Amino acid sequence: FLALGACANFRSAAEPATVAPAPVEQKRPNIIFIMSDDHAQTAISAYGTRIGKIAPTPNIDRIARNGALFENSYVTNSLCGPSRATMLTGLFSHLHGFTKNGQTFDNASWNWVRALGQSGYQTALFGKWHLNYSPQGSGIDTWAVLDDQGKYYNPDIITPEGKKVVEGYATDITTDLTLRWLNEQRKPGQPFVLMMHHKAPHRNFMPAIRHVQKYIGTEFPVPTNYFDHYDGRPAAAAQEMTVAHDMYEGHDLKMTTKAGSRELRFNPWTDDFNRMTEAQREAYFGALQPGNDAMNRANLNEREMAIWKYQRYMDEYLGTVAAVDESVGRVLDWLEASGEMDNTIVVYTSDQGFYLGEHGWFDKRFMYEESLRTPFLMQYPGHIPAGLRVAAPIQNIDYAATFLDYAGLPARKEIQGRSLRDVADGTPPADWRDAIYYHYYEYVRGPGNHAVSAHYGIKSDRYKLIRFYGHVNAWEFYDLASDPDEMHNRIDDPAMQPQIARMKRRLTALRQKYRDDGGPAVTDALASPAAIARGQR
Ligand code: SGN
Ligand code: CA
């Protein structure tokens, strides 16, 4: 299409009648970038995880069958806004400037979607944005986004025309907008970037009516470290994110005050339920009532209650994942039916991982495995081998470079990540990274936040070294080969000192490579006043 256009422009009257045929131009692939919010790898069956076996995600798994599953996919800062800004720009948080939620992303910043748009792609975004009020000015042609974090039921949707309530369930509304764009607004024949970004399964974990009952009665295995005491791990001990004590019993777990009642326990943000229609409320809370009544009658002790909450958490979290999985299925079905499958890259990812009871937690933020990891699956038939499992460590700084590469655009030197193209071909370059760098900044106590101290660190194929600073000042060191659940901080273990020294040197080198001088230097003594002052800035 582009080649023909170019020919037509250059043809002049003086040109001879016989023109050598233009070289066949490689068709530029469409890109469908699907992202959910807080979807743990542990809740995707293609990852072969304990939860995935019980609550399968057959449609997300289709992407792994058609293409590649990235076994070692990580974020750079396990929080929504920073992660999204990183995906758009290919930069670590300190360089795009969005280090904590609530900061403002400058929509005028360079982003890969605008770059593809300027090169002839149509671009569209539906669902969660959460970088600021709207994508206005970001260079995305067509968009309709959830307001702020987004509501599960009857959400406010922001478009260039303003904000209005749309009746229905957020995941379905986002999918409907996506399919309507594909069917009615897209210009066939022109490549496109389409972003479908779900709110689910983010807190407060509300499944669609059709899925509220889906996992009730299923017994999920309680993680072996659910009753973690955080011995030797002061930062882990200082958090406020346990399922047992920090989840809001009304808002998150929809627990009632007594048998026979629909009155909710602690529920500070009433709008989530008040905005439901009477029919939605009846169906939703009606489905939960037998479980709530039984719990209220059972007079559970503390340990039993902690386990009851874990089971309710899984019912609700995985219930919301069910609609996300259906959504992915609808988009893949569309690709099959439209004949666009072979010319489309489909990515499924999340803005970060999430704790599903490991260490007793929900939420994310920490550099521990479950929230450092994020799902990443990518298909491109004929280009990415079907069923490939990629072991090379990747990070969300890589996405921008990847899409530029697949779209045939020049690499952008400012980008800190690398194109995944060779990795996804099954032939990772010899100089691919062998360790990843991470930096988390947001320390906030109080309702809805989780009091996780700022920290940075390095993960190699075997070891993880973390420096907490600001609120808690501490080093942690894990040997993931012998301690995959990160229960034993070996920082003071004499046998580990040579490894720790080596990892500190590698960490310093990564901080230099990524130009991050935020927080204390690796060599700063733990409690030095200068280090603490730097950590707090
Ligand atoms: C809200 C949640 C927190 C969550 C943050 C960040 N509280 O504040 O539990 O950590 O979002 O999530 S809530 O009670 O308001 O749901 S993020 O995905 O946007 O980073
Ligand atoms: Ca998130």
3-class DSSP string for 66-78: HCEEECCEECCCC
Q: Which ligand is nearest to the CA of 371?
A: 2
Give the strand order in the sheet containing 30-36. 162-165, 156-159, 142-146, 122-127, 192-197, 30-36, 344-350, 376-379, 68-70, 388-390
What are the tokens at 236? Answer: 């882990």
Ligand 1, atom 9, residue with closest C-alpha: 448
Task: Classify strands 192-197 and 30-36 as parallel, antiparallel or unpaired.
Answer: parallel
Cα 117–Cα 123–Cα 127 angle in degrees, nearest 5: 145
CB under 8 A, 24+ apart: contacts of 115-120: 115/404, 115/409, 115/412, 116/31, 116/193, 116/403, 116/404, 116/407, 116/409, 117/141, 117/193, 119/407, 119/409, 120/2, 120/28, 120/190, 120/191
Report the nearest-CA residue for atom 2 of ligand 1: 448
Nearest CA to ligand 1 atom 1: 448
Ligand 1 atom 18: residue of nearest CA = 80
Q: How many angstroms separate the alpha carbon of residue 163 from the centre of ligand 2?
A: 23
What confidence tens digit (pLDDT) does each residue in 256-278 have? 999 999 999 999 999 999 999 99
**Ligand 1: lining residues by beta carbon, under 6 Å:** 37-38, 79-80, 101, 130, 149, 202-204, 363, 448, 450
Q: Give distance in angstroms: CA of 383 to centre of ligand 2.
A: 30
- What is the distance between the alpha carbons of residues 467 and 458, in angstroms, rounded to a whole number? 9
The Cα–Cα gap between 114 and 481 comes to 42
Query: Distance, CA 349 to ligand 2 centroid (Å)?
Result: 11
Which ligand 1 atom minimizes the distance to the CA of 81?
A: 20
Going from the Cα of 201 to the center of ligand 1, the distance in angstroms, rounded, reads 11
Nearest bound ligand to the CA of residue 197: 2
Nearest CA owner, ligand 1 atom 19: 80
pLDDT per residue as tens, the chain (537 positions): 233 233 333 333 334 444 444 455 568 999 999 999 999 999 999 999 889 989 999 999 999 999 999 999 999 999 999 999 999 999 999 999 999 998 889 999 999 999 999 999 999 999 999 999 999 999 999 999 999 999 999 999 999 999 999 999 999 999 999 999 999 999 999 999 999 999 999 999 999 999 999 999 999 999 999 999 999 999 999 999 999 999 999 999 999 999 999 999 999 999 999 999 999 999 999 999 999 999 999 999 999 999 999 999 999 999 999 999 999 999 999 999 999 999 999 999 999 999 999 999 999 999 999 999 999 999 999 999 999 999 999 999 999 999 999 999 999 999 999 999 999 998 899 999 999 999 999 998 877 889 999 999 999 999 999 999 999 999 999 999 999 999 999 999 999 999 999 999 999 999 999 999 999 999 998 876 555 555 554
The helix or strand, by DSSP H or E, that contains position 319, with its residue range, turns out to be helix 302-338
Q: Which atom of ligand 1 sits closest to the CA of residue 252?
A: 14
How far is the centre of ligand 1, averaged over its atoms, from the C-alpha of 450 (Å)? Answer: 9
pTM for this prediction: 0.94
Digit-coded pLDDT (tens) for 65-114:
999 999 999 999 999 999 999 999 999 999 999 999 988 899 999 999 99
CA–CA distance, 427 with 335 (Å, rounded to integer) = 27
Instruction: Give the separation between CA 518 and CA 522, rounded to whole angstroms.
Output: 11
442: left (phi over 0), alpha (psi -120 to 50) or beta: beta
Question: Buried (b) or exposed (e) across 521-531, using 16+ Cβ within 10 A?
Answer: ebebeeeeeeb
Q: Which of 324, 394, 437, 449 is nearest to 69 (CA)?
A: 394
* Consecutive H or E run containing 315: helix 302-338
Question: From the CA of 201, how far away is ligand 2's center (Å)?
Answer: 9
Residues 279/297, Cβ–Cβ less than 8 Å: no
